[in-house]
């Protein structure tokens, strides 16, 4: 399928923890001069600013439901670069719309490269301690089952941000 004639399509990036989704997404948005939409940040913002909770007259919707709503809202945007995290890929209810209006890219670095990056990232210490290398590899393999949703799989080491950005832009326009 060639997407050259559909420049209004979104480019949606997804992948496992630590594969530099946000850096690649921001760089790609700058390169293509498109707005950047961060689904995890938007979910957190909507959870904090829920009017029922702020007014004290109700309880917040479940996080899974909020992720589903944000993904569905993303399907109505045009010409946007967006980032979905592991949590969003676990709830594929809104993917029918995303597959129609978006070019889905799965960032899939080798596990060894990913493991090295996560060990250097202080924010991931709890994740590493809780699961260890074997548990994390199992989570990574389970998450990779979502590849069938995507139009493109980018299998590059984690440190190849600039090259991954160029590759995704090239594949999107050819």
Q: Specify the residue for token string 């060990």.
A: 119
Taking only the tens place, the pLDDT of each residue in 90-143 is 665 666 777 788 898 999 989 998 889 889 888 888 888 898 899 999 988 888
Q: How confident is the model at residue 163 (pLDDT cuts 50, 70, 90)?
A: very high
Query: CA 157 to CA 171: how far, in whole Å?
Result: 18
CATH code for residues 10-173? 3.40.50.300
Which residues, other chains included, contact 94 with Cβ-Cβ below 8 Å and sequence gap of 6+?
68, 71, 72, 74, 75
Q: Percent of the chain beyond pLDDT 70? A: 83
| Phi and psi angles of residue 8, each rounded to the nearest 5 degrees, phi first | -80, -5
Domain boundaries, the chain: 10-173
Stated pTM of the model:
0.85
In contact, 99 and 14? CB cutoff 8 Å: no
């Amino acid at each position: 399928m060639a997407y050259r004639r559909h420049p209004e399509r979104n480019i949606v990036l997804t992948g496992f923890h630590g594969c530099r989704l946000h850096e690649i997404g921001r760089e790609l948005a700058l390169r293509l001069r498109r707005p950047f939409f961060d689904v995890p940040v938007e979910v957190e913002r909507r959870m904090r600013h829920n009017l029922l909770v702020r007014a004290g007259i109700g309880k917040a919707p479940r996080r899974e439901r909020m992720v589903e709503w944000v993904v569905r809202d993303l399907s109505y945007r045009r010409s946007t670069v967006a980032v979905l995290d592991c949590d969003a890929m676990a709830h594929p209810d809104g993917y029918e719309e995303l597959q129609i209006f978006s070019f889905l890219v799965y960032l899939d670095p080798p596990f060894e490269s990913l493991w090295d990056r996560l060990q250097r990232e202080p924010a991931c210490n709890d994740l590493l301690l809780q699961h260890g290398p074997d548990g994390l590899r199992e989570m990574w393999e389970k998450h990779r089952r979502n590849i069938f949703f995507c139009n493109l799989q980018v299998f590059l080491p984690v440190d190849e941000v600039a090259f991954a950005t160029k590759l995704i832009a090239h594949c999107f326009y050819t």
